[in-house]
């Protein structure tokens, strides 16, 4: 069966309503397209757990700030469609921006607290855009379960809080980060890296692994010292610039001073003009 492409909200809602009436379960994988193996791992998980799999492809203008890479964000619809067909996705929901945001005054969904840390510090308004679009997608696709990657760990926590606070009746799954052979986390933005930048981008994983080593071997427990070691690894690369490195509580995202128990080590690094994020949870 070829994948069904739906661009209109009302058609999507009608279609999923009828599937729900037939008792079929719906799994949603929300994406901004330029699909890679990370997305496909979410699709595979959704395929194994649901009767119907919907992939949404929408580069959401509301989650990009002024001067960010909305215009340059990779778009690859033809390839995405082929991958969805191969993975037996049932529906690709790919609305135009005007369909999702028809007017200029937008009702927005804002989660407080979790959103002013890590990525929220340098991307003001980003999570408001994410929560707004994801809540719209939940109302349009009406999934029983939605699937997200651990690479966007903070995004997952924020969406989980939004879903609880707004009483969305669905399950959320966080699936492991998928990595290249050299450890670089898969990301649609990796397509923006030049070959030299791609090599330099290995420093994100190297820095995270050095944190893991220092914590696991109990060599260092002060978060400040671990962060300095990580910064030194990243600064060895002439094209890399740290946006943030945080060691924090994996539930509240509050920074910790010294590592006891489980922590999230998260970072964002510009490699050239491309901002990449990654994280590990270490117990």
Q: Strand 91-93 and strand 4-6: pairing?
A: parallel
Please pick, from the candidates 35, 83, 130, 234, the single residue that binds ligand PAF as defined by CB under 6 A: 130
Q: Does 87 bind ligand PAF (CB under 6 A)?
A: no
Q: Which of 9, 28, 30, 200 binds ligand PAF (CB under 6 A)?
A: 30
Q: Does 134 bind ligand PAF (CB under 6 A)?
A: yes
143 binds ligand PAF (CB under 6 A): no
Residue 60 touches ligand PAF, criterion: CB under 6 A: yes
The interaxial angle of helices 202-216 and 223-235, nearest 10 deg, is 150
Task: Rule CB under 6 A: choose which of 6, 32, 114, 158 binds ligand PAF.
Answer: 32
CB-based contacts of 139, cutoff 8 Å, min separation 6: none
For ligand PAF, which is the closer residue by CB, 155 or 279?
A: 155
Q: Of the listed 15, 36, 39, 205, which one is catalytic?
A: 39
Binding piece for ligand PAF, criterion CB under 6 A, among 82-90, 130-138, 233-241, 245-253: 130-138
Q: Taking CB under 6 A as the rule, does residue 63 contact ligand PAF? A: yes
Question: Shortest Cβ distance from residue 228 to ligand PAF (Å)?
Answer: 30
SS3 96: coil
Number of CB atoms found within 10 A of residue 116's CB: 12
Q: How many CB atoms lie within 10 A of CB 136?
A: 20
Q: Which of 133, 175, 204, 265 binds ligand PAF (CB under 6 A)?
A: 133
Instruction: Write out the two tokens for 246.
Output: 């945080």
DSSP state of 152: G
List Cβ neighbours of 105 (8 Å cut-off, separation of 6 or more).
Answer: none
What is the distance of C-alpha 87 from the center of its chain?
Answer: 20
CA triple 149-65-128, angle to 5 deg: 60
169 is catalytic: no
Q: Which stretch binds ligand PAF (CB under 6 A): 5-13, 25-33, 108-116, 234-242?
A: 25-33
Asked if 208 interacts with ligand PAF (CB under 6 A), we say no
Whichever of 30 and 239 has its CB closer to ligand PAF, that residue is 30
Dihedral over Cα of 106, 107, 111, 112: its sign: positive
Binding site for ligand PAF (CB under 6 A): 30-32, 60, 63, 130, 133-134, 152, 155
Q: Which residues are catalytic?
A: 39
């Amino acid at each position: 069966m070829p994948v069904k492409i739906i661009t209109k909200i009302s058609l999507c809602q009608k279609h999923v309503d009828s599937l729900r009436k037939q008792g079929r379960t719906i799994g949603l994988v929300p994406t901004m397209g330029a699909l890679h193996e990370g997305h496909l791992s979410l699709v595979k998980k959704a395929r194994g757990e649901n009767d119907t799999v919907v992939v949404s492809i929408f580069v959401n203008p509301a989650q990009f700030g002024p001067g960010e890479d909305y215009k340059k964000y990779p778009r690859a619809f033809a390839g995405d469609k082929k991958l969805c067909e191969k993975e037996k996705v049932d529906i690709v929901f790919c609305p135009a921006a005007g369909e999702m945001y028809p007017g200029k005054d937008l009702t927005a969904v804002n989660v407080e607290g979790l959103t002013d840390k890590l990525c929220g510090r340098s991307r003001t308004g980003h999570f408001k855009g994410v929560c707004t679009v994801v809540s719209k997608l939940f109302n349009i696709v009406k999934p029983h379960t939605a699937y997200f990657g651990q690479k966007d760990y903070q995004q997952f926590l924020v969406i989980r809080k939004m879903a609880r606070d707004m009483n969305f009746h669905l399950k959320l799954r966080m699936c492991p980060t998928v990595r290249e052979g050299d450890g670089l986390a898969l990301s649609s933005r990796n397509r923006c890296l030049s070959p030299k930048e791609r090599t330099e981008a290995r420093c994100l994983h190297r820095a995270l692994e050095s944190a893991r080593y220092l914590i696991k071997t109990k060599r260092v427990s002060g978060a400040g010292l671990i962060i300095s070691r990580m910064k030194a690894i990243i600064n060895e690369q002439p094209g890399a610039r740290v946006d943030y490195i945080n060691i924090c509580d994996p539930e509240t995202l509050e920074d910790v001073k010294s590592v006891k128990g489980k922590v999230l080590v998260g970072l964002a690094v510009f490699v050239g003009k491309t901002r990449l994020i990654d994280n590990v949870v270490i117990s």
